[in-house]
């Protein structure tokens, strides 16, 4: 697979001229000030190789990609009991919709919409005190990526809290139904910190590689999750990983993936590779516009699709 | 893969005692009178072999599985222009919900909810007169299954029309937005006939094999669709093929599949096999309860999952 | 009250220059071709006098004002049993919304949204064959207005049927829940005919006078309904008579009233008068824009309000 | 009107045996512990007389009735500019629904649903510091009732804050749309205090008398609001004063009124009287069950209805 470097080099080169398309997330100043021309790709294969191009070593705010990590962590702590707290169905609504919660007694549809990820954080708080929970999440992501340099951007975390009314609404709403058990301030304190994890494409690709390798990180040999759980996490990414654009992403790219409004996407090619892309311009559903196109082309040229 | 016969025999034997669980569809008398003990499995592999067990040669009403065939037919006729008429996102609602249509200007979310399939039928009516359309759909399914004995159960079709108020509501509603262009009576006349196709597990497994084989039917060598289109249809089945239980099906079974309230499910193992199951007891989302469990066990034991 | 003629003359003169504001209903050609400059006012007092100005003797399509008459007729036939079929609450949604029906098992919120009026028509069909039902509705309105010349505009009725998809959707949807018991074609056949009643402001004002006079028509002495029922019908007009603009109408005008997309409004001043206005330009909620302003000014200058 | 004492005595006596029907609000302990047998009625007439029966001098938590007072206060501060912040339409949903807010950009439908009252409180905070705001609300209610003994029950206020997740959700949600401008903690701090006002039927009847008397308190001669504003506030109470039971209340009782989950209702007979009832058992919409029946009988026997 030595031509993989060529593949990502080509895609990076071809799409560079389209940088600037899409809309950069601007609900907090820290995200709004990112250059629209940032563009990185990292591709890690299950045989332990990694390929990089562009701004692949530059850290950015992973935002909702963190939902993948906290889900994995929470499943490790409480097992499938987690599913009594959050569903496994695509939402059919925007990432921050509250309508569904009112219609379904405060139970979020899946762990990748905001409400669901907040509920997952609440589950983690059943195991740790708030500060420990944040530390544990950081440690877990460092462990996944095999990189102890990963940190949280405190400015982003604080800014999220300041502009977090929509998430406060979701959390209080769920708490009124008993779905959230800890104080909203504690839960969102942790939640906003996990969203503010700063990671590079290379770190992200490495951290997601266990999902391509039956739950085992091929770089360091750690058994992260069972093979069955890895498959199931992949299924959730495929049906719900791109909010209300998940069906379209599956149609076009054909790979499980999780996006974040910081412009990152982490995709999984089962048994083969993980791919992280970063380009901050977003489409109407809040997913990286150029990042999605890059993944679409890479998957097509490499013949990677879970669908045939 | 000689042990596949053993595999489905085992699963059939193990689950037989649970027959009777779930609720048989009763909105028309023709479906309500089916014995809850019917249970068949057929498995067709891309090397042309077919394995059967139980009531695998007994025909039943395929109902919504027909949505897969009319989607394929319509894509063949109008190509990707179809997507201007219907979306590609999971609905997040029940199969016959009308709420989403009001919120999104009458445009159905995907071709596998009732509204979406009705819109697809309307597209087919742009190519054929109503009677011709029904005949063409039958011919197309016969061609897919390589079996000219497949017919429509007219009693079921007529009964559907008689009890079809919810679908009439969906069709008129879309027509008020211009999403349906032909008369509602014509569109639903065709729609209810396609739902009333009577097929056996064996016929279903054969008819879906092209989706496991890059678009080409390995039995007769027909090129049904391009490899890309086969992948895309699989993606739609995975994200939306089980109505509001699609996420759960992907989580548990990990295969693209389309279900019908007649108790059938047609699943695809890309590059490997197609599987049809039939057991009329339904779960809360209207999908075959024992059929889903059978697929879950088969997929697990055979190591078949698109997710790793 | 001899200055009432002066009052309506003044209002008519002052508002004439604003004619043309608003949007004429255009969903059927027969409504779209009405001149935006039509403007009539009729005011009937409980002492039997009637005051007219402008196009007050010109007939127009009363549309949803007919819902008031069929409600009164149906209550006369089945009494308060009607309320098992339709609610008495404001809808909080547009006149033709279907969302509420899905959330509340097909039961319409009140008799003045389309769904509710269709359910009321279904109740009338429990008493009459379809053709008789139409004849009975015409006779009832002639009786209320004491004017046997009132007829249905067949062109409007037929055009409504042709463009009636949204109402067909509502009716089929309710029928799927058992809320509508007769065939949708029959129910809507009657419904569209009642909407196509052609009446003048003068005829409307007379026909609504019983609601201002404790249920008794002061012109001919007929006892139309009991005093209690007259009050209750007035309450329904006040809370729901202007679709999703009912609260605003109550706030500004302060009188029970029912509007129609033909541009008419019939208002009631309890114990005092009934007022009919006609001006085809509609506001965003589908109510006569100038007609509402005219009623607001008349009510204010005459000191008429149910609220003090 | 000397027989008014007899009227309320009769009604009180007739309904006493039904006390215990309905469900006492139990979302905070302070409300849950009220005796279901409490029952008081006070009737104040515009000629300055007051009639009492039963537990009419016992204070209780007025809860949502306070929305009437803060609306009046806010209108006095900012005038009709208030209506840019909150609508005037019935909601068609439960008192604490958040669905409508998502569909309508965070703008609450009227000042009498929780979201609307919270927005009104935010407007008052544009005029006062939080502590001053609370003090001003108390002063205003004391002024309306001509009774300086009225106070806030701090235990209730604190308990509301503790169990206030649903209202925190509403406030944060509106704030995310910019509809709420102050901090949620400040706004709800004031809001929960106003809900915790403890008043008796007699105090309530007096405090609402200005709405029956063209805006002027006949007891002390104070001009509270203009005659037009009094009428408009009455209209809002009629269309929205009983949450999702407003239409039914108008149908049965025919008077503008505002209810609270503490079991109180304040009703207005324009130009005639104000009536306060207290009975803690609630119906399904959260309105006093026996209190509503009492008002229905009083209105009927006295011939009081705004509808004829």
Q: Domain holding D146: CATH number?
A: 3.40.710.10
B191 is catalytic: yes
Chain D residue with CA closest to C306: the answer is D306
Q: pLDDT tens across D148-159, in order?
A: 999 999 999 999
Is residue B2 scored above 80 in pLDDT?
no
The sheet carrying A60-61 orders its strands as: A60-61, A197-199, A151-152
pLDDT value for A99? 86
Give the global pTM: 0.95
D42: in domain = yes
- Give me the residues paired with residue B52 across strands: B42
Please answer yes or no on whether D235 and C251 come within 8 Å at the CB atom: yes
B308: in domain = no
- Is residue A110 located within the same domain as residue A167? yes
pLDDT value for D99? 86
Q: What phi and psi, each to the nearest 5 degrees, are found at residue D269?
A: -105, 100
- Is residue A9 located within the same domain as residue A22? yes
B306: in domain = no
pLDDT value for C200? 98
Q: Of A145-149, B27-31, B154-158, B283-287, which range is least confident?
A: B27-31
Give dist(CA D224, CA D222) in Å, integer. 6
B64 is catalytic: yes
**In a structure prediction context, what are the per-residue pLDDT tens digits for chain A, which is 308 residues long?**
559 999 999 999 999 999 999 999 999 999 999 999 999 999 999 999 999 999 999 999 999 999 999 999 999 999 999 999 999 999 888 878 888 898 889 999 999 999 999 999 999 999 999 999 999 999 999 999 999 999 999 999 999 999 999 999 999 999 999 999 999 999 999 999 999 999 999 999 999 999 999 999 998 899 999 999 999 999 999 999 999 999 999 999 999 999 999 999 999 999 999 999 999 999 999 999 999 999 999 999 999 999 99
Which tokens is A75 given? 């499943």
Confirm or reject contact between C100 and chain D (CB < 8 A): yes
Is residue D57 scored above 80 in pLDDT?
yes
- Is residue A259 located within the same domain as residue A216? yes
Chain A residues near residue D173 by CB distance under 8 angstroms: 98, 165-166, 169, 173
- Is residue B207 located within the same domain as residue B278? yes
Is residue D2 scored above 60 in pLDDT?
no
Of C98, C103, C184, which has the smallest distance from its Cβ to B173's Cβ? C98
Say which residue, B92 or B170, is predicted with more confidence: B170
- Is residue C110 located within the same domain as residue C10? no
Q: Compute how many other C-beta atoms are within 10 angstroms of the C-beta atom of residue B242.
A: 29
- Give me the residues paired with residue A278 across strands: A40, A264
A268: in domain = yes
- Is residue C82 located within the same domain as residue C184? yes
Which tokens is D246 given? 């407003």
Q: pLDDT tens across B172-208, in order?
A: 999 999 999 999 999 999 999 999 999 999 999 999 9
Q: Which of residues B142, B165, B197 is at a domain's end? A: B197
Secondary structure string (H, E, C) spanning A272-302: CEEEEEECCCECCCCCEHHHHHHHHHHHHHH
A31: in domain = yes
Of B91, B235, B271, which has the smallest distance from its Cβ to A251's Cβ? B235
Q: CB of B93 within 8 A of CB of B244? A: yes
- Is residue B128 located within the same domain as residue B186? yes
Is residue D1 scored above 70 in pLDDT?
no
Q: CB of D230 within 8 A of CB of D195? A: no
- Is residue C116 located within the same domain as residue C144? yes
B307: in domain = no
pLDDT value for D221? 92
Confidence of residue B94 (pLDDT cuts 50, 70, 90): confident
pLDDT value for B144? 97
Give dist(CA D304, CA D246) in Å, integer. 18
Among the listed residues B285, B240, B284, B259, the one whose alpha carbon sits nearest the alpha carbon of residue B109: B240
- Please list the ranges in chain C whose pLDDT falls under 70: 1-2
Query: What is the distance in angstroms between the Cα of D168 and the nearest Cα belonging to chain A?
Result: 6
Q: CB of B1 within 8 A of CB of B45? A: yes
C12: containing domain: 4-57+200-302
Q: pLDDT tens across D128-145, in order?
A: 999 999 999 999 999 999
pLDDT value for B97? 84
pLDDT value for D165? 96
- Is residue D30 located within the same domain as residue D84? no
pLDDT value for B270? 98
A243 is catalytic: yes
B180: left (phi over 0), alpha (psi -120 to 50) or beta: beta
- Is residue C256 located within the same domain as residue C273? yes
Confirm or reject contact between A17 and chain D (CB < 8 A): no
Give me the percent of chain D exceeding a pLDDT of 90.
93
Q: CB of D264 within 8 A of CB of D291? A: yes
Helices (H), ranges, chain C: 4-15, 29-32, 66-78, 99-103, 114-124, 130-145, 154-162, 165-176, 184-195, 201-207, 209-212, 227-240, 246-252, 289-302
Query: What is the distance in angstroms between the Cα of B233 and the nearest Cα belonging to chain A?
Result: 8
How much is the average pLDDT of D285-291?
Answer: 97
pLDDT value for D293? 98
Of C100, C239, C305, which has the smallest distance from its Cβ to D231's Cβ? C305
Of C230, C231, C246, which has the smallest distance from its Cβ to D239's Cβ? C246
Q: Which of residues D197, D230, D258 is at a domain's end? A: D197
A64 is catalytic: yes
**Averaged pLDDT of chain D:** 96
- Is residue C72 located within the same domain as residue C49? no
How much is the average pLDDT of D6-10?
Answer: 98
Please answer yes or no on whether C308 and D211 come within 8 Å at the CB atom: yes
D307: in domain = no
Give dist(CA A44, CA A82) in Å, integer. 30
Q: Which of residues B180, B197, B214 is at a domain's end? A: B197
Among the listed residues B168, B165, B191, B180, the one whose alpha carbon sits nearest the alpha carbon of residue B86: B180
What sign for the dihedral angle of Cα A268, A273, A274, A276? negative
B26: in domain = yes
What sign for the dihedral angle of Cα C176, C181, C182, C185? negative
Among the listed residues A124, A72, A70, A67, the one whose alpha carbon sits nearest the alpha carbon of residue A96: A67
Please answer yes or no on whether D97 and A102 come within 8 Å at the CB atom: yes
pLDDT value for A2? 56
- Is residue C42 located within the same domain as residue C146? no
Domain count of chain D?
2
Is residue B1 scored above 80 in pLDDT?
no
């Amino acid at each position: 697979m030595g031509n993989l470097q060529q593949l990502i080099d080509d895609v990076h080169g071809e799409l560079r001229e389209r940088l600037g398309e899409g809309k950069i997330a601007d609900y907090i100043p820290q995200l709004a000030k990112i250059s629209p021309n940032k563009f990185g790709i990292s591709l890690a294969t299950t045989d332990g190789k990694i390929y990089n191009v562009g701004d692949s070593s530059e850290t950015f705010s992973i935002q909702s990609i963190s939902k993948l990590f906290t889900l994995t962590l929470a499943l490790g702590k409480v097992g499938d009991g987690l599913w009594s707290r959050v569903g496994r169905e695509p939402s059919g609504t925007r990432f921050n919709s509250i309508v569904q919660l009112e219609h379904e007694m405060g139970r979020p549809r899946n762990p990748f919409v905001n409400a669901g990820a907040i509920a997952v954080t609440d589950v983690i708080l059943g195991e740790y005190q708030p500060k420990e929970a944040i530390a544990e999440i950081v440690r877990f992501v460092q462990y996944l990526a095999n990189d102890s340099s990963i940190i949280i951007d405190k400015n982003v975390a604080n800014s999220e809290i300041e502009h977090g009314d929509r998430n406060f609404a979701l959390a209080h709403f769920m708490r009124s139904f008993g779905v959230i058990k800890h104080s909203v301030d504690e839960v969102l304190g942790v939640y906003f910190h996990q969203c503010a994890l700063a990671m590079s494409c290379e770190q992200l690709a490495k951290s997601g590689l266990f999902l391509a390798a039956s739950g085992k990180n091929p770089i360091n040999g750690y058994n992260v999750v069972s093979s069955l759980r890895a498959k199931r996490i992949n299924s959730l990414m495929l049906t719900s990983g791109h909010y209300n654009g998940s069906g379209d992403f599956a149609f076009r790219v054909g790979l499980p993936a999780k996006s974040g409004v910081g412009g990152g996407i982490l995709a999984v090619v089962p048994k083969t590779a993980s791919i992280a892309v970063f380009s901050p311009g977003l489409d109407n559903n809040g997913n990286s516009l150029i990042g999605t196109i890059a993944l679409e082309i890479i998957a097509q040229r490499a013949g990677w699709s879970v669908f045939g």
